[in-house]
Amino acid sequence: MFGAQKKSPPIRSLIGEGTVVQGDLTFTEGLRIDGEVHGDVTGPAEASSILIISDKAKVHGRVKAAHVIISGEVLGPIESSSLLELHAQARVVGDVRYELLEMHPGAVIDGELRPLKSAEKPALTLAASNEN
């Protein structure tokens, strides 16, 4: 009705607790990680994709998706083209690029935060002083 929200894509894949994956992962729609991944995790940034890294999960590698929700640990850079949610237990070691950021008290980032739109902003110039 008023301000209809976009529906999140379904979670079609799960990496269960106790599972360790070696290598890069590419997914469509939704992925939930409860285990450990040693490699990059990439979802389509242009389309709607959701990646959930639970409080029990650990990712050693680059993370890239549209909507990223982190409650666990990421050791590597993160890029979220839509929304990045960092819950209270989240621990990130790496640079973070985001469109929108929601960070709960207690979340920790050891890296640089950069909004994606900052690259599109024109440089500021000083107006010449007009002394007559």
**Would the pLDDT of 130 be above 80?**
no
In a domain, 101, yes or no: yes
In a domain, 6, yes or no: no
The token duo for 113 is 């935060």
**Would the pLDDT of 74 be above 80?**
yes
In a domain, 129, yes or no: no
**Would the pLDDT of 18 be above 90?**
yes
Question: For 109-114, what is the mean pLDDT?
Answer: 96
In a domain, 81, yes or no: yes
Question: For 70-91, what is the mean pLDDT?
Answer: 97
Domain count along the chain: 1
User: Could you count the other beta carbons within 10 Å of the beta carbon of residue 122?
Assistant: 5
**Would the pLDDT of 24 be above 80?**
yes
Question: For 100-115, what is the mean pLDDT?
Answer: 96
Tens of pLDDT, residues 35-71:
999 999 999 877 789 999 999 999 999 999 999 999 9
pLDDT band at residue 9 using 50, 70 and 90 as cut-offs: confident
Mean pLDDT (the chain, rounded):
89
In a domain, 67, yes or no: yes
Domain span at 27: 11-116
In a domain, 36, yes or no: yes
In a domain, 130, yes or no: no
